[in-house]
Structure 1
Amino acid sequence: MKQVFISLIFLLLICVSCTERVVFMHEKVTPEYAEVVSKDDVHAFSDTLITPYIYTKVSSLRMLPVKEKKQKFVELLLPSVLLAQHDLNQKIKRLEHVENWLKQHPNYIKSDSIFLFDLYKQYKCSEINELKSRLKPHPVSIVLGQAALESGWGSSRFFEEANNVFGIWSYNSGENRIKALRQRDSTNIYVRRYSSLEESVCDYYRTIARVPAYKEFRTERELSNDPNKLIPLLYAYSEVGKDYTKKLNRLIKNNNLAQYNCYSIDKKFVQTETIELAQLSKFPLKNLY
């Protein structure tokens, strides 16, 4: 009887003490979706606050006059770049929450551990600091510049038929992809097909984050956002190496792409939501797992 009484008291204490809510404040963007059949379907912007359009279908900009083609290309792509950067920054913010939690507690919250190890698997690393380094976004101007080079300012077949802005190849026959018209050393080449421009941008950032050839770039990116320091370290993106980075640097400067580094998503489309990670007792966390 005494043992039952003690057990009841123990359970009561747990119920009384389970009042500490562990939450994470997440900034959620609600995007608009659009398709482009003609140039008039591209939504222009007049200031630095951008409506977060996700374009799921685009048409080639090849036939437009050069100046108009470039402007339409930026208007198409910039919202997706800002959305991708926002998502990466939110992940980093969550990782910092995990770090702060672990400074004061002996164990992970279960939802945090799932979040963390999911990212470890996706980004091929095993430490929080390394993960934060891989997730850190680099300036918009560099992304726009590479996108313009790889797609010919929205003129390429890959851009029009596959939403593939960066010419990223596919090595997996099981994924959605299209075949290139040319072969390399008698071998067929395939590029990935994406559901939207935003998906293409996210995959580009993931490629930069995971591929060993960009380690030097990622290291410098932790220290600086200066395109003049970062661009030369992208030599591995193309077979022509330093000639590629010189061309990229000229393109960014000649088209004043640096102006877009200060653009941001219109706050009207951003909502702060509270994510409840756990309802904890004052007893050791090991009791939760």
Structure 2
Amino acid sequence: MRVVIFSILSFVFILVSCKKSSTFTQISILPQFAEIENVEDVHTILDSCVTPYIYTKVVSLRGLPVDEKKMKFVEMLLPSILVSQHSLYQKITRVEHIEHWLLTHPLMMKNDSLFLFKLFETYNCNEIPELKIRLKPHPASIVLGQAALESGWGSSRFFNEGNNVFGIWSYDAGENRIQALVGRDSTRIYVISYASIEESVNDYFETIARVNAYDEFRQERYISEKPFELIPLLNKYSEIGDVYTDKLKQLIESNDLTKYDSYVIKNDYFVEEVIKLSQAI
């Protein structure tokens, strides 16, 4: 099987006339948007099949007993992680659909060309094999662990005021953001303010996918879903390096977060949509 590799410049040649047509079946999730006025509004996760609640407003968990705080934090965050993971896997499926089509057809459909070009731009690459590596999500336990470290299990001001679970900084004065109370070397620091927890999780996955510092982590997660093999490769996520990854590993182990790696969205919230791919122009 030949490997299909495209540069962005090749789109000049791909967008030519084609008489064939194709369809792609996309499986989407119907999210259940919710706001939280108090911790009782957080929907309990009873088993490994999760309702996709997307929280657009959260409350600080600072004053709760430790065990309750941790549980409520997971219940707020896990649905968004599962939704984001599903979306990324759907993108991979669509990319593989394009890849398979091009094994037997010399030209790409217009819809596929636009879809692929947008992903190349977003994920800072220009080859299909590399794109698939960048799209693949990692286990929920790692996401939960990093979120817990960065937000103090939902106690941080950035989490409470801006749904910023991972403390991701803002460098654009034009986007919604929150100023940190303490700067660095007389420089003001801002973090992004998100519309929902899902938006924060999506941006986290995109950051891991785009930044060169995480290349080794991405390469390994493409072939492995074992969290404790992947964690050491996140040593560039924090200035404290291996100390950070040791803390992350200990947090995941002590809170049994790996059990959430097998959790899924309830089937009731999936919907199939057949996309008719138009002919290329």
TM-score between the two structures when normalised by the length of structure 1: 0.90
Pair 1:236-2:236 in alignment: yes
Deviation of the 1:255 alpha carbon: 0.1
Q: Secondary structure at the match of 1:37?
A: coil
Distance 2:169 2:51 in 1: 30
Aligned to 2:58: 58
Conserved in 1, the CA contact under 8 Å of 2:168 and 2:192? yes
**Match of 1:284?**
none
- In the alignment, does 2:218 pair up with 1:208? no
Q: Deviations over 1:98-121 (max 9, x none)?
A: 000110111110000000000000
Conserved in 1, the CA contact under 8 Å of 2:25 and 2:273?
Answer: yes
CA distance in 1, matches of 2:77, 2:182: 26
Q: Does 1:192 align with 2:192?
A: yes
What's 2:24 paired with?
Answer: 24
Q: What's the counterpart of residue 83 of structure 1? A: 83
1:134 aligns with 2:134: yes
Compute the displacement of 1:21 (Å): 4.5
Moved more, 241-250 or 219-228: 219-228
CA deviation profile, 1:188-227 (whole Å, cap 9, x unmatched): 0000010000000000000000000000100111121111
**Larger fraction in helix:** 1
Task: Give 1:183's aligned residue.
Answer: 183
* Deviations, residues 112-145 of structure 1 (Å, cap 9, x unaligned): 0000000000110000110000000000000000
State the percentage of identical aligned residues. 59
The alignment of Structure 1 onto Structure 2 pairs a total of residues equal to 263
Partner of 2:160: 160
- 1:152-173, Cα deviation, whole Å (9 max, x unpaired): 0000000000000000000111
RMSD (CA atoms): 0.9
1:28: how far off? 1.0
- Given that 2:21 and 2:109 are in contact with CA atoms closer than 8 Å, whether structure 1 keeps it comes out as no
Q: Quote the Cα distance in structure 1 between the aligned partners of 2:71 and 2:184.
A: 33
Q: Deviations over 1:63-109 (max 9, x none)?
A: 00000000000000000000000000000000000000110111110
The code of the aligned residue for 1:176 comes to: N
Q: How far apart, CA to CA, are the structure 2 residues paired with 1:247 and 1:23?
A: 47
AA in 2 matched with 1:139: P
Inter-partner Cα distance in structure 2 for 1:251 and 1:236: 18
- The gaps in structure 1 that reach 5 residues or longer are 1-17, 281-287
Give the whole-Å Cα distance in 2 for the aligned partners of 1:199 and 1:228: 26
What whole-Å deviation, never above 9, does each CA across 1:25-61 have from its counterpart, x for those lacking one? 1001101010111010000011111000000000100
Q: Deviations over 1:225-265 (max 9, x none)?
A: 11111000001111100000000000000000000000000
- 2:185 is aligned with what amino acid? D
The whole-number CA distance in structure 2 between the counterparts of 1:170 and 1:21 is 43
- Paired residue secondary structure (2:180): strand
Matched residues in 2 for 1:222 and 1:234: separation?
14
SS at match of 1:103: helix
| Corresponding residue SS for 1:237 | coil
The separation in 1 between residues aligned to 2:47 and 2:130, in whole angstroms, is: 36
Which residue type is aligned with residue 96 of structure 1? E
For residue 149 of structure 1, report the CA deviation from its aligned partner.
0.3
Shift of 1:271: 1.0
Does residue 224 in structure 1 map to residue 230 in structure 2?
A: no
- Higher-Rg structure is 1
Q: Which runs of 4+ in 1 moved over 3 A?
A: none
What secondary structure does 2:46 align onto?
Answer: coil
Q: In structure 1, how many angstroms separate the alpha carbons of the residues matched to 2:154 and 2:73?
A: 6
